[in-house]
Amino acid sequence: MKATARAPSNVALVKYWGKRDRRLNLPATGSISVTLDGLETVTTVAFDRALDADTCTIDGTADPRGARRVLAFLDLVRTRFGVTEHARVRSRNDFPTGAGLASSASGFAALTVAIDAALGLGLSREELSALARRGSGSAARSLIDGFAEMRAGTAEDGSDAFAVALGPPDLCPMDVLAVVTTHQPKAVGSTEGMERTERTSPYYRAWVEQTLADLDAMREALRASDLERVGTIAEENAMRMHAAMLASSPPLLYWNGTTLDVVREVARLRQGGEGAWVTIDAGPQVKVLCAPGRGEHVAARIEAVGGVLAILRSRPGRGAHVVEDAA
C-alpha cells in the first residue's frame, strides 16, 4: 500500500492552451513535448486504513494550493477504483524550490505512478497518462520517455486523451536550458488563464487551428531529427500562444522585462550563427533549446543578461517510473 515514483518535468514544443471539456480536463488540441532529464519530482504515497483523512506535504510544507488539487485527485482515484483508505502523500522537487519551475506536470505524473504501484492497479502507460491528465493536462506527457505527443482524442469520456511516445531521448538530441527570471509565483494559473483565453480572446480559434498545423510540422521535424526546424516551430508556436493570451480581456501578460531581454539575446545568438530558440509557458521563465553540447556556451551568454537569476541545464530524458527510495 506504499510506493514511490520519480517523474520529470517536460516542456511543450507545441503547446496545450485550451480545453474541450473542463470536468474531464480534456485538451482542445494535442500537444508535443520533450521530457526533461533531471528536473524531477519524487513522490511517496502510502494508503493506510488507520488514517481518517489524507495528508499532503510538498517540499516539507503543507502547501495549501498544491495540496487541494492532490486531495481532489485522491478522491477521484478512490471513487474510480473502489478504494476506501486515505493516504499520506510526501512530495519533493529535485530542482531548487522557488525557481518558479515547480510544475504540476512532474507532480501529478509522479503521484499517478506512485498511486498505481501502491494500490497494485497495474495500469498501462496509456491508462496512467489519461489518469495523470485529470490532475493536470501537461502531466499526461511526463509519463513518456524522450518525446511525447498528447492526443486530444474524440471520445466523450476522455478515454483516448492520453500521451504516446514519438521517440526515445536520442530521437532529436538537444540541450535545454531553463532560465529563471523571477522567484515569484505566477499571477494567473494555467487553468484560469486558458479559460479566460477561450472565453475572451478573438484569436483563440486561430490559435487552435494553427496548433493543428504546428503539430503536423513538429512531428515531421522530430522524425527527421531536424533541430533547426524543431526550434523554429517551437518558438513560433510559443509566440502564437502568447499572442492569443495577450488578446484576452483582461490581457494575460506572463512576461517580465528579463523574459524579453532573454528572447532578444537568443535572437542575437542566432544571428551570430548559433542554433538556439526560446519557448515560454504561462509564466516569465524562458526555456532555450540549442544543439547538444552547446548548452554551456549558450548559458554563459544568457547568464550575462541582467535579471537572470539562475539557469538549469537539461536534455531529453526518461519518463515517470517507480523507485525504491522514499521521498
Q: How far is the CB of 106 from ligand DP6 (least distance, A)?
A: 11
Q: Show the 3-state SS of 229-259.
A: HHHHHHHHHHHHHHHHHHCCCCCCCCCCHHH
Q: How far is the CB of 12 from ligand DP6 (least distance, A)?
A: 3
CA distance 32 to 83: 33
Query: Is 138 or 201 the residue whose CB approaches ligand DP6 more closely?
Result: 138
Q: How far is the CB of 136 from ligand DP6 (least distance, A)?
A: 3
Q: How far is the CB of 129 from ligand DP6 (least distance, A)?
A: 13
Residue 21: beta bridge partners? Answer: 26
Q: How far is the CB of 108 from ligand DP6 (least distance, A)?
A: 8
Query: Is 12 or 77 the residue whose CB approaches ligand DP6 more closely?
Result: 12
Nearest in space to 278 (alpha carbons), one of 226, 209, 208, 231:
231
Nearest in space to 39 (alpha carbons), one of 114, 111, 107, 117:
107
Query: Is 47 or 255 the residue whose CB approaches ligand DP6 more closely?
Result: 255
Kind plus residue range of the DSSP H or E element containing 74: helix 64-81
Query: Is 12 or 111 the residue whose CB approaches ligand DP6 more closely?
Result: 12
Query: Is 31 or 129 the residue whose CB approaches ligand DP6 more closely?
Result: 31
CA distance 274 to 264: 13
32's CB contacts (< 8 A; 6+ apart) are: 12, 13, 14, 147, 148, 149, 150, 166, 215, 218, 219, 222
User: Rg of the Cα trace of the chain?
Assistant: 19
Query: Is 4 or 9 the residue whose CB approaches ligand DP6 more closely?
Result: 9
Query: Is 186 or 318 the residue whose CB approaches ligand DP6 more closely?
Result: 186
Query: Is 18 or 167 the residue whose CB approaches ligand DP6 more closely?
Result: 18
Q: What is the DSSP letter of 324?
A: S
Residue ranges binding ligand DP6 (CB under 6 A): 12, 15-17, 25, 31, 104, 136-138, 190-191, 281-282
Residue 255: beta bridge partners? Answer: none
Q: How far is the CB of 22 from ligand DP6 (least distance, A)?
A: 9
Parallel, antiparallel or unpaired: strands 31-48 and 147-150: antiparallel
Q: How far is the CB of 205 from ligand DP6 (least distance, A)?
A: 18
260's CB contacts (< 8 A; 6+ apart) are: none
Grid cell in block for residue 45:
504515497
Instruction: Let me know if 247 is exposed, middle or buried by CB neighbors in 10 A (0-12, 13-18, 19+).
Output: middle
Query: Is 42 or 101 the residue whose CB approaches ligand DP6 more closely?
Result: 101
CA distance 244 to 241: 5
